[in-house]
Amino acid sequence: MRCPGVDLVRHPAGATDLVLLAHGGQEHSHADPHLWRPALLRMWPFAPAARSAAPDAAVGLLRYRFRGWNDDGDAAADLRAVLDALPPVISRVLLIGHSMGGRAVVAAGDHPRVAGVLALAPWLPRDEPLVALRPPVTFAHGTDDTMTDPAGTTAYAARLRAAGVAVTTYLLEGEGHAMLRRPADWNRIVADFVAGRTSEDLPETSAHVASAVGSIAVARFRMPVRERFRVPCRTKTH
C-alpha cells in the first residue's frame, strides 16, 4: 500500500518552516506517481530557488499515493494528511503547486499550518469550491497554456478578492503549461513568494526548451532526496 509523504531535499537542523512543492498529475489515475515522472521533475528547479530565498527552511516535494485527482480529490486529501502529520517543530508551511498540485494547494490552503499559497498554472475548474485562503496568495499562469485554463485562474482569483482575500496574479505571455519557455521568470516568482516579496514586472526572459530541461536535470542531481517522511496509510485502497 502506498502512503503519502514528503521527499525532503533540504532539512537544516532546527528548521521550523517548510517549503512544500506539489507536482501535477492527471484527472483520473491510480497509477504510481514514481520519482522520474516529468510532472515531478519539473518541480525540482524550484527547490534551489526556495533554498536561496529561505536558507533556514526545509524544502520538500509532496508524494501522492496516486497520479490522479480522482473523484475524491486524492491529491488534496494526501496533502492534508501530510500537513496533519508533520512534526510539531514545523510550524509554518509554504505551499507551491503546479497544475493538479496547484489545485491541491488551493484546496488545502486553509490548513492551520499553511502560511501562504502559490499556484502555478493551476487546474481550477469553474465550479471549484472557494477556500478561505490566508495571504500571501499568488497565482501565475501562462497565456498559451492549453492544458489548464488561464481564465479559470483569473476567475478564481476574482472570487477570492470579492471575498476580501488579497491575491497577487501573474500572466506570463507566450508560456505554456510545462513552464519551459520562461523558466527564469517562474523561478523568480517562486523565490519572491518564499522570501515574502512581490515580484516587480517580469522581464519576459525566455530560454530554449532544451536548456530549460537541462536545468531540471542539474537541479535534480544537485539536490537529491536526503530524507523521506511518510504518514500512516489510510485503510482505503484502490
CATH code of domain 5-230 = 3.40.50.1820
pLDDT of residue 1: 66
pLDDT tens for 53-89 read: 999 999 999 999 999 999 989 999 999 999 999 999 9
pLDDT of residue 36: 82
pLDDT tens for 160-184 read: 999 999 999 999 999 999 999 999 9
What are the domain boundaries of the chain?
5-230
Beta-strand pair 5-10/58-63: antiparallel
SS3 105: helix
Least trusted range by pLDDT, from 111-120, 188-197, 201-210, 212-221: 201-210
235 pLDDT above the threshold of 80: no
CB 170 within 8 A of CB 189: yes
Selection from 33, 70, 83 nearest residue 238 by Cα: 70
pLDDT tens for 118-161 read: 999 999 999 999 999 999 999 999 999 999 999 999 999 999 99
CB 27 within 8 A of CB 103: no
Phi-psi sector, 128: left (phi>0), alpha (psi -120 to 50), beta: beta
SS3 152: helix
Query: pTM (2 decimals)?
Result: 0.94
Rounded CA Rg of the chain:
16
- At 96, list the grid cell: 507551491
